[in-house]
Amino acid sequence: MTEKDVVERLEEIVGKKNVQADKIGLTSYGYDATLLSGVGMATVFPLSTEHVVKLVKLANEAGFTLIPRGAGTNLSGGTIPDGRCVTVNFSRMKKILDIDTENFVAVVEPGLVNFDLQAELEKKGFYYPPDPASYKATTLGGNLAECSGGPRCFKYGVTRDYILGLEVVLPDGKVIQTGGRNFNSEPGYDLTRILVGSEGTLALLTKIFLRILPLPAAKKTMLAIYNQVEDASQTVSDIVAAGIVPTTLEMMDNLLINTAEDATGAGLPRDAGALLIIEIDGHPEDMDEQVETIAGICKKARVREFKMARTAAEVDQLWLARRVVIGSVARRRPSYSLQDITVPRSMFPNMVSGILQIAKERNLEVGILAHAGDGNMHPLVLFDQRIEEEVERVHLAEKDICALALELGGTLSGEHGIGLLKKKYLTLEFSPVAMACFAKIKNSFDPRHLLNPGKIMNL
Amino acid sequence: MSNETVNRIKGLVGEGNVVDSPSAMARYLKGQGRPLAVAMPGNTAEVAEIVKLANEEGLKIAVGGRVVESRGLDGGLALVMSRMNQVLEIDHANLTATVQPGLAHTEFSRILAEQNLVFPPEPNVPKTGSVGGCFALGEADSQAFQYMPVRTYLLGYEMVLPNGDILEVGNKCIKNVSGYDLIHFAVGSRGTLGIFTRLLVKLLPPPAVKMALVADFASLPKACQAMATLIRRRIFPTRLNLLNPALAAGIDPGSKGNLVMVDLTGFKNSTELLAEEIAGIFHLAGSSEVQAVKEAEGYAKLWQGWLDLRGELNTTWAERVIDFNVGPMKLAAALQALTEITGDLGAYPGLVAEGLLGRVRLLLPAAGEREEMAVKVNALAMSFGGNVSGNFGSKLVCRAYNDAEMWEGIESLLGQIRRQFDPKGILAPGVSL
């Protein structure tokens, strides 16, 4: 079938206005939040499960591959098209099908934006815990495909912990439901779990059953500033050991404190080694006791400034530096590469000093942003995309950072996924036996490699 | 031939670690299957060697912590993991433990308690359950609303695959999305994908206080209403379990009616306030007696009673149990509707409801009518947005929707995965997915 014929058939399935095959359309959906891009044959916007089934059948018949896509905010190259493929853009399947607060379930279509669900839930006093930084733009289908995290994960867990069930279209066009509205609804194997984080390589999502929770009755936000990263890190360990599970333990290092200060002029001390934002939630009557314990722990760890927000405005003030930090690095250098390694909590100080060492060796500026409670770190490697030689050094530094994380007993990806970007490092983390198991999973679902080929691993 | 096989197995794990006389094997087996031998491997290499031998000889293998399901195991080999029962590491800084799969679940909890740590999942069977078995079955227990399902406590493992290869995945990071999620996918796979030989699990620090409330309700609907009131007021205890009179008597011999058991764990201030509030709600809802259990011994005894009951439902009574889910706030209506099938639930052999999960376990008068009852119960559960648990439930749902295609899709996918991992069909012959 020629490309022109394929486009015509796509238009028959979803209607002309839901297909884009011109140059602008192809370019617009050919890139994501990485520096990668590619071009396929067309982008198609299904509106229903039935559309998706027909697309899959056509792909089988006409011999092209399918690249599922939400908002394209992923940091792994997971939605980059390549060759004879069609991008399936789910952004028009964005209905909320049900919100059942009494039974803690929401049922949504995969193209729904995380923020739009949160806004609806908030009206009812509920929320959906996973909150990736891009939540204002990202789709829930995309969150599921990457198993996104976010700052609240330390207490509440990641996307996989909030998916109760799915309706998916398999690569042979069959529709199945996995899980349901409750725990304990899986048939045989926990198919839902293998689909979460599968980066669009196993099946196409058409419906998601999410677990939702009531908004916590009380919340306290604290800011602690330290001379050294080690002190912040000690604070984190001691808080956990004291039996307190904060929702958030966000850390920024000296470089990022400075770029944030450049951007906001909020009065952060420029010589500070690290800043920690600590947030707890729960029953109102438990807050004071926990704040007191945390303040004591910070003091013991030689904190130089400790603040607790007393009003909503003060909460915003404490979060300000963290909110602007990624954008603020643009004042230093025009580009950044955001890494996503995770190490065991006890290895946190070693990882921080290791990253600074790598930065020095590769002659690069690196700022460190971390979800410190769970050891998930986002080193921001700063560079200028136009300087080829520097880009080379950035790639070398990325590899060094991945290798160090693995050496310290960590992982290549805490919440962004593998996609195209980290595929080349996967064998550093996994043995040939594990890689063979990945292939078994892929081949069980998608023996013809129709879905998102070349992502996660080559087969 | 079979003697020769047994001798080879003895050569692999040592003569003293293989049992092959039917009378000696009996204590390691349940069910009617007649395996060739029971072997107790001592380490991963031995397990891998045994699996390779099984591949050569087409021998079926089933695995258990202390007791092995023998269904489908005629002429095969039962592996008892009780010698691989060590705690290899407890990491306080990262709140993890590395253990061997044959470690008894209750023994693990005891060791952790000494170190001021907790492994929250409830044992499936307190007397015989192992940590490996806990993840092989991997369900959501009655604390799952607060502590999440069992799978969330598995961070990594070492596993001998059906071809004898050794798979290692996972690390001490709670955030880990590298590659496909083999870690959580293995949970609940009931020994069909491989044999766990080492487990890396997540631990928690203990809650500051623990206490329980036990309320007696003459009326089942009123007990359900009381539980619904808690949820409506956004009171979410650690456990909120309901037992009908037949089962309540086993936990609290003095009880007269239905028992609602509330577990509260958390910080001191809120826990004490909540206990008072809940007691008040239960009195208003018609409970004849609400007891607070605050001292450690009484608390431990109460919940041990619950765990023992759960163990009975999972073993002795397993063939008589139907397990279904509806939403937590649909429990009252679902149980009301259920009486049309069962008659008065107060007089029924057994009923357990896990209030925060909306899960019901029904103990039937006899095993014979299970399938027929499950079809009726599933239809009822479906009208409340749920279904009978597990694969059988999914099948019934597909049948009810007349969706043969979906069932075919699920069944062929499950079969495909199992064949990809175990092409010769060696492991867990008694488990049909």
A38 alpha carbon, distance to own chain's centre = 22
> Quick check: A190 and B182 CB within 8 A?
no
How confident is the prediction for chain B on average, in pLDDT? 94
The model's pLDDT over A28-37, given as tens digits with 9 standing for 90+, comes to: 999 998 889 9
Q: Is the pLDDT of residue A184 over 90?
A: no
Calculate mean pLDDT across residues A402-427.
94
Regarding predicted confidence, which is higher, A145 or B255? A145
> Quick check: B176 and A429 CB within 8 A?
no
What's the pLDDT at A450? Answer: 97
Q: How far is B9 from chain A (nearest CA, A)?
A: 25
The model's pLDDT over B249-262, given as tens digits with 9 standing for 90+, comes to: 999 888 889 999 99
Q: How far is A383 from chain B (nearest CA, A)?
A: 26
Q: Which chain B residues are closer than 8 Å to A144 by Cβ?
A: none
Please calculate the CA angle A129-A133-A136 and round it to the nearest 5 degrees: 85
Calculate mean pLDDT across residues A410-433.
94
Q: How far is A433 from chain B (nearest CA, A)?
A: 6
A:B CB pairs within 8 Å: 263
Calculate mean pLDDT across residues A77-106.
96
Burial A317-349 (b: 16+ CB within 10 A, else e): bbbebbebbbebbeebbebbbbbbbbbbbbbbb
> Quick check: A158 and B188 CB within 8 A?
no
Those of residues 338-397 in A touching chain B at CB distance below 8 A are 342-346, 371, 374-376
Calculate mean pLDDT across residues A315-326.
89
The model's pLDDT over A329-346, given as tens digits with 9 standing for 90+, comes to: 998 999 999 999 999 999
- For chain B, percent of residues with pLDDT exceeding 70: 100
Instruction: Categorize the per-residue pLDDT at B371 as very low, low, confident or very high, splitting at 50, 70 and 90.
Output: confident
Residue B381 tokens, joined: 């559960």
Nearest by CB to B267, from A105, A178, A289: name it: A289
Q: How far is A245 from chain B (nearest CA, A)?
A: 10
Q: Is the dihedral of CA B214, B218, B220, B221 positive or negative?
A: negative
The model's pLDDT over B279-297, given as tens digits with 9 standing for 90+, comes to: 999 999 999 999 999 999 9
Residue A435's closest chain B neighbor by CA?
B179
Nearest by CB to A418, from B178, B182, B389: name it: B178
Instruction: Categorize the per-residue pLDDT at A408 as very low, low, confident or very high, splitting at 50, 70 and 90.
Output: very high
Question: In this complex, is the C-beta atom of A218 within 8 Å of any C-beta atom belonging to chain B?
Answer: no
Q: Do domains A216-329 and A333-417 have the same CATH topology?
A: yes
- Decide if A44 contacts A89 (C-beta within 8 A): yes
What's the pLDDT at A428? Answer: 94
Query: What is the Cα–Cα distance from B188 to A51, expressed in whole angstroms?
Result: 33
Residue B432's closest chain A neighbor by CA?
A188
Q: Which residue has the tokens 């990736």?
A: A132
Domains of chain B: 2-80 (3.30.43.10), 87-202 (3.30.465.10), 209-393 (3.40.462.10)
Q: Where are the alpha helices (DSSP H) in B214-369?
A: 220-232, 245-251, 268-284, 296-314, 331-342
The model's pLDDT over B383-410, given as tens digits with 9 standing for 90+, comes to: 998 889 877 788 888 888 878 888 889 9
Residue A233's closest chain B neighbor by CA?
B93
- Decide if A335 contacts A305 (C-beta within 8 A): no
CATH of A333-417, one of 3.40.50.300, 3.30.70.2740, 3.30.300.30, 3.40.50.720: 3.30.70.2740
Q: Where are the alpha helices (DSSP H) in A124-183?
A: 140-146, 153-156
What's the pLDDT at B119? Answer: 98
Residue B273's closest chain A neighbor by CA?
A285
- Decide if A159 contacts A147 (C-beta within 8 A): yes
> Quick check: B270 and A282 CB within 8 A?
yes
Q: Which burial class, exposed, middle or buried, applies to B340 when counting CB atoms under 10 A from its CB (0-12, 13-18, 19+)? A: exposed
- For chain A, percent of residues with pLDDT exceeding 90: 88
Nearest by CB to A102, from B166, B188, B329: name it: B329
How confident is the prediction for chain A on average, in pLDDT? 95
SS3 A368: strand
Question: In this complex, is the C-beta atom of A459 within 8 Å of any C-beta atom belonging to chain B?
Answer: no
CATH class for the domain made up of A3-92: alpha beta
Question: A323-332, B42-51, B265-274, B396-405: lowest mean pLDDT where?
Answer: B396-405
* Among A80, A43, A66, residue whose Cα is nearest residue A423: A80
What's the pLDDT at B397? Answer: 84
Residue A446's closest chain B neighbor by CA?
B413
CATH number of the structural domain A96-214: 3.30.465.10
The model's pLDDT over A255-312, given as tens digits with 9 standing for 90+, comes to: 999 999 999 998 899 999 999 999 999 999 999 999 999 999 999 999 999 999 999 9
Q: How far is A116 from chain B (nearest CA, A)?
A: 24
Q: Is the pLDDT of residue B344 over 50?
A: yes
> Quick check: A175 and B330 CB within 8 A?
no
Nearest by CB to A431, from B168, B406, B413: name it: B168
Q: How far is A88 from chain B (nearest CA, A)?
A: 22
| Domain definitions of chain A by residue range | 3-92, 96-214, 216-329, 333-417
CATH number of the structural domain A216-329: 3.30.70.2190
> Quick check: A189 and B189 CB within 8 A?
yes
Q: Which chain B residues are closer than 8 Å to A374 by Cβ?
A: 173-175
Instruction: Categorize the per-residue pLDDT at B1 as very low, low, confident or very high, splitting at 50, 70 and 90.
Output: very low
Query: What is the Cα–Cα distance from B56 to A21, expressed in whole angstroms?
Result: 55
> Quick check: A376 and B420 CB within 8 A?
no
